[in-house]
Amino acid sequence: MKYKVGDLVIYIQNPQTVRRVRRVYGDMVLLWGFYDYVHEKDIKKVEVK
């Protein structure tokens, strides 16, 4: 799953993680908040556009 935060595009393996982040922060996900809820093992790739 591709998840865009600002200029970062983050690819995540676990869709449950994304749902949890969206539920807590809504559509406006701050990068620090995002990383609070995403475990490193769930992140496949991070690229800066």
Domain that holds residue 38: 2-48
Q: What is the pLDDT along the chain (49 residues), one digit of tens a residue?
A: 666 666 666 666 666 666 665 555 544 444 545 555 555 555 565 555 5
Give the tokens for residue 34: 């995002």
- Report the Cα–Cα distance between both ends of the chain, in Å, rounded: 17
> Which residue type is seen at 46?
V
On whether the CB atoms of residues 34 and 10 are closer than 8 A, the answer is: yes
The pLDDT, as a whole number, for residue 23 is 57
The pLDDT, as a whole number, for residue 30 is 46
The pLDDT, as a whole number, for residue 35 is 55
Chain-centroid distance of CA 23 in Å reads 12
The total domain count for the chain is 1
CB-based contacts of 18, cutoff 8 Å, min separation 6: 1, 3, 12
Q: Within 10 Å of residue 14's Cβ, how many Cβ atoms?
A: 15
